[in-house]
Amino acid sequence: MTFQTNKLRPALIASALAATLAFPAWLLAQEEEDSGEADTGVDTTLVARPSVLAPRAASGLLLSVARAGDKLVAVGQRGGILLSSDGSEWKQVQVPVDATLVRVFFADASHGWAVGYDGTIVATEDGGSTWTLVQFDAAWGKAYFDVLFFDAQNGFVAGGNGRLQKTADGGETWETVESPAFEDQPNLYTLTRLGNGSLVLTGERGFIAVSGDQGANWKQLKSPYTGSYFGAVASGDAGIVLFGLRGNAFHAADLSKAAPLTEADLAALREAAANPEASGSASNPISEVAGWARLASEDTESLFGGTVADDGSVLLFGANGRIMKADLAAGQLVRQQLPTNINMNAGLATADSLIVVGTSGVQRFAKP
């Protein structure tokens, strides 16, 4: 029952993403911008203006949802931020910027951050009831795609063209993190903390990088996939599940055993990026790489978000009603049958429900 409440092959990627219908327009636009094939017409003179309270905000495009203590917080287009105590009734709150918000993250029940278009960062200290503008960078003109904090003071934001920034004062000031791993400026879509404290960055063109020292240094890993990773979920102490374009998903039980990216590997990737037409017709985007296992699935709908349920199971959310349960022991994805074909960007599992957000706003489903 339902309760309403990459530079590698840019033309191919853009075509595949458009076909999903669920893929957020902000990311497709970013792919096109990076390909150099489109004039994005970014207005660098924009100034932040407050979001507008809309009576149907809970039915609009939403991109991320997170827990803030006993509350749920969802974010999306035009600076929309909504709160709920039960996943059924949602209330929009005022936000000092109307840029589309891509991700929301809470370090505890009170301290949270949301990031998005035009280098936007907003923060809350009261569980999402009120928000302050931390950063708005129209001159940069790109999006932050993910945010992760260790506590109320220390955290990171990751975004377009290999941009990673860190703060040690709750977002008052930010410092750019430099690394050879970001030299080719891939869009950084996800930032994940493993059970052992290691950090993992993933993004376009199969980009994977890991840090074992709180993000000070990064090592790029060899990827089993040359397409984009749109999401990542930590698994166990040192494991991770990556997923993205065309429903492809991969599991590393122990990321420390995953193969590093060699100079020869990097040279091959750069050659492919320089000649996408030739590389696209001669190579398979999926390959056997030490430390990684592909999660078998006959489904090809792209996957955008994931969560870990209370029982430890990994659930992935995607286009056209796809909710996939990762059976890591069997190495496969199992589709969960729900009476819906809505497009989903992210989700959370509560004790008795699944709360999903996407192009149809917020939806609540009984667990399958």
- What does the mean pLDDT of the chain come to? 88
CATH architecture type of domain 194-368: 7 Propeller (2.130)
Q: According to the model, what pLDDT value does residue 280 have?
A: 55
Q: According to the model, what pLDDT value does residue 192 have?
A: 98
Cα 312 to chain centroid distance, Å, stands at: 20
pLDDT tens column, 121-174: 999 999 999 999 999 999 998 999 999 999 999 999 999 999 999 999 999 999
Mean pLDDT in residue range 263-277? 83
Mean pLDDT in residue range 234-249? 97
| Residue 91, CA distances (Å) to 84, 104, 107 in order | 7, 16, 22
Local confidence band at 255 (pLDDT 50, 70, 90 cut-offs): very high
pLDDT-above-70 percentage for the chain = 86
pLDDT beyond 80 at 30: no
C-beta separation of 339 from 2 below 8 A = yes
CA distance 219 to 232: 17
In the sheet that holds 293-294, the strands lie side by side as 229-235, 239-244, 249-252, 293-294
pLDDT-above-90 percentage for the chain = 77
CA distance 79 to 72: 17
C-beta separation of 357 from 65 below 8 A = yes
Which residue has better confidence, 268 or 183? 183
pLDDT tens column, 165-201: 999 999 999 999 999 999 999 999 999 999 999 999 9
What are the residue ranges of helices labelled H in 21-135?
Answer: 25-35
Buried b (16+ CB within 10 A) or exposed e, 204-219: bbbbbbbbbeebeebe
